[in-house]
Structure 1
Amino acid sequence: MSNNQYLVIGATGKTGKRVTDRLRAARKTVKAASRSGNVIFDWNDKSSWPDVLRNVKAMYVTYFPDLAMPGAQDDIRTLCEIARQQKVSHITLLSGRGESEALACERIVASSGMSWTVVRASWFMQNFTEGLFAQFLLDGSVALPVGDVKEPFVDIDDIADIAFDSLLNDKHKNKLCEVTGPELLSFSDVVEAFNQAYHRKAAFHQVSPSLFSENLTRIGVDENAIAMLHYLLTEVLDGRNANLADGVQQALGRAPTSFKTFLQKNRHVFV
């Protein structure tokens, strides 16, 4: 059998499920791989990787929990080596802005011998509708260890459109696509936009990193997830990413989705 399948690693994740849906809508043969499901892929079990990568033409890769984690570089390097052995032609990697460890993984992909696309993304807007922060908003109190630093939050649907197109369209080959939303917003700005959109009275509070971790521990959040959020909120979110990029415009020929539009299309989450 020739390599004619499209692999999505992390197919149940925020971006992975959207890329999978787009591929299926385009009538492509998809291997939707995750830690549970018909195609099992576990970053901690490399023994199954050759079989998962067999007959794959191109793949979209999201790393769990984050490319900043110890071991990510070795995992990405091994994945690329096996993919090359299996004659995979192309890899699209989801990366993060402002993370030196993620940059190292990007370099591994770029030197893999396959064609590649890196989608380097800012914070997801969907973190406020599909993650822990959504519950904070519903509860009326968003308490985070951040101040007035601004972030160009990006809509995951924009990311998925680019990732999907990169698997099918040669114009994205061997390119870095840095994606952000069209505006810089603080977390306080986000809460205010939420209040205006849905006529709510949620409040934003800056708390210490230790109190933030204690609060998450109390509600049963996994310690690894707490460590990741602590890293992202106290180290990466220090202003280094407080600038806009034009990746969405360059890749898709349109403006990125605004936060106001994002809130409008996600009314079903809160109303």
Structure 2
Amino acid sequence: MTENAADTANTQRMTVVVTGASGRTGSRVAQAARGAGLTVRAASRAQGFDWEDPTTWAELLRDADAAYLMYPSDIGSPAAAEGIGALARKAVGLGVRRLVLLSARGEDQALPAEEALKSSGADWTIVRATWFSQNFSEGPLVEGMIHGELVFPAGEVKEPFVDVRDIADVVVAVLTSGDRYAGRTLELTGPRLLSWRAAVAEISEATGATITYTPVPVRAYGEALTGFGVPPEEVDLLMEVFEALMDGRNAHVTDDVREVLGRKPRDFDDFAREAAAAGTWKA
């Protein structure tokens, strides 16, 4: 057997635990992993996995080769560092040493969770992602856009929006590359900078409908979230994160997607046209 054939055979025997397997990134990671020939063990509440209940972890981790970790609320929450550290140590104790963590680019509040992973004894890789393109097509921002307006506290700052399919492809490539990316922190961005206003304009053009962008102060946005019933402690964290991330610290692109995948990242315009064709923003 050649070396390449042996690598392929080893990859096809891999079992990967994917947390958040029904979510925005986890579902794509699971799909990409299956496409690469990996066996996927989905970890979500539907499968009995609960980040807040450590007794649900061992069954999914036992006899796995690697895991993708995505904390369900915000990676910057105080609970994230504790949960990620505990799960990572449990995984290592069960022989699952290869762990990839989804983190947030530029979010200082995420650093304790990253450090918890690093200190667990795992062969870790951290994937810091910028804002997802799919935040415009999935989740709480969609409803307003369907009705013709995105209200968001981003001002006119520019962001290199990243397609979650690129995140998934990078995660799977990292998991199947042996130790090549162990101990690395990768920052994933799209290929160009866009303001939220420009992003909404590209979506508007793709749909043929008029969608406007209305920037609001961060605190005003927080008050609106409170009015929608978001818990006060979650609102406080989001406001802290937004105030930091909207200062322009992420207004530059990286080449990490190309380094790992050997191709340029997907462009926001491609995302907008595909989502519009699928009827994402139709009332």
Instruction: Tell me how far apart the structure 1 counterparts of residues 144 and 121 of structure 2 sit (CA, whole Å).
Output: 44
Residue in structure 2 matched with residue 184 of structure 1 by the alignment: 193
Residue in structure 2 matched with residue 145 of structure 1 by the alignment: 153
The 1:117–1:153 alpha-carbon spacing in structure 2 relative to 1, beyond 3 Å, is same
Does residue 259 of the first structure (1) align with residue 268 of the second (2)?
Answer: yes
If the length of structure 2 is used for normalisation, what is the TM-score? 0.87
- Equivalent residue runs for 1:1-271 within 5 Å: 5-35=15-45, 37-38=46-47, 40-170=48-178, 171-219=180-228, 226-267=235-276, 268=278, 269-270=280-281
Say which SS state the counterpart of residue 254 (structure 1) adopts.
coil
Say which SS state the counterpart of residue 245 (structure 1) adopts.
coil
If the length of structure 1 is used for normalisation, what is the TM-score? 0.90
Whichever residue aligns with residue 16 of structure 1, its letter is: G
Instruction: Tell me how far apart the structure 1 counterparts of residues 202 and 224 of structure 2 sit (CA, whole Å).
Output: 24
Q: CA deviation at 1:227?
A: 4.3
Whichever residue aligns with residue 248 of structure 1, its letter is: V
Spell out, residue by residue over 1:212-264, the C-alpha distance to the aligned partner (whole angstroms, 9 max, x if none).
23434445556566445433332322211111111101111111111111112
Spell out, residue by residue over 1:56-105, the C-alpha distance to the aligned partner (whole angstroms, 9 max, x if none).
11000001211100122121211121111101130011011112232232
Instruction: Tell me how far apart the structure 1 counterparts of residues 151 and 228 of structure 2 sit (CA, whole Å).
Output: 14
Instruction: Tell me how far apart the structure 1 counterparts of residues 125 and 231 of structure 2 sit (CA, whole Å).
Output: 32
Number of residue pairs matched?
A: 267
Is the 1:93–1:117 contact (alpha carbons within 8 Å) kept by the matching residues of 2?
Answer: yes
Unaligned runs of 5+ in 1: none
The 1:236–1:202 alpha-carbon spacing in structure 2 relative to 1, beyond 3 Å, is same
Instruction: Tell me how far apart the structure 1 counterparts of residues 22 and 260 of structure 2 sit (CA, whole Å).
Output: 24
Whichever residue aligns with residue 209 of structure 2, its letter is: R
Superposed CA RMSD: 2.0
The 1:239–1:57 alpha-carbon spacing in structure 2 relative to 1, beyond 3 Å, is same
Instruction: Tell me how far apart the structure 2 counterparts of residues 105 and 215 of structure 1 sit (CA, whole Å).
Output: 28
Unaligned runs of 5+ in 2: 1-12
Residue in structure 1 matched with residue 8 of structure 2 by the alignment: none
Say which SS state the counterpart of residue 14 (structure 1) adopts.
coil
Say which SS state the counterpart of residue 88 (structure 1) adopts.
coil
Q: CA deviation at 1:270?
A: 2.9
Instruction: Tell me how far apart the structure 2 counterparts of residues 260 and 123 of structure 1 sit (CA, whole Å).
Output: 15
Identity, % of aligned positions: 38
